[in-house]
Amino acid sequence: MKLLMFYVHDWWYKTASKSLPNAPDAEREESMNNAAVIFFHSEAEDEEKKESVIQKFVKNTKWISGKFNTKNIVLHSFNHLSTSKSSPEFAKALLDEVVERLERTGYRVMLTPFGYFNEFRMHVAGDSLAKVYKEF
């Protein structure tokens, strides 16, 4: 698993085109302020350690949001952080579990549509911890 995490003053995205032909149709344009934005990449080896990956994904997401005192989270699938890729089905199931765990503990989660390329804009804070990369 690779996580590229940002703290942003504002985030905006709009769906552009499908990257997975089987993805459900979705035309969206949304924004969120004062948020932790997590670009994630699920790798093939994550499929063997799903529970551990979910726990670390949630823990790191809560960690960065706590550093900036926000409960706003944006999760964006970004399969450009590694050459190793999990199956789309695994990545989607993992993502669904992460969202459920975050929402259950009081976080507001915005999820960009899985299986889509998106146009996006973000205003990243200048703090050193506003830009963090993690892999596990």
The pLDDT tens digits for 15-71 are: 999 988 888 899 999 999 999 999 999 999 999 999 999 999 999 999 999 999 999
CATH number of 2-126: 3.50.80.10
Chain centroid to Cα 24, Å, comes to 19
Distance of alpha carbon 38 from alpha carbon 71, whole angstroms: 13
Give the relative orientation of helices 88-104 and 50-67 as an angle to the nearest 10 degrees.
Answer: 50
Average pLDDT value over all residues in the chain: 95
CB 15 within 8 A of CB 120: no
pLDDT recorded at residue 113: 93
Quickly state the pLDDT bin for 93 (edges 50, 70, 90). very high
Instruction: Using alpha carbons, select from 109, 125, 121 the residue that is nearest to residue 58.
Output: 109
What pLDDT score does 80 carry?
A: 80
Contact (CB, 8 A) for 73 and 7:
no
Confidence at 119, pLDDT banded by 50, 70, 90 = very high
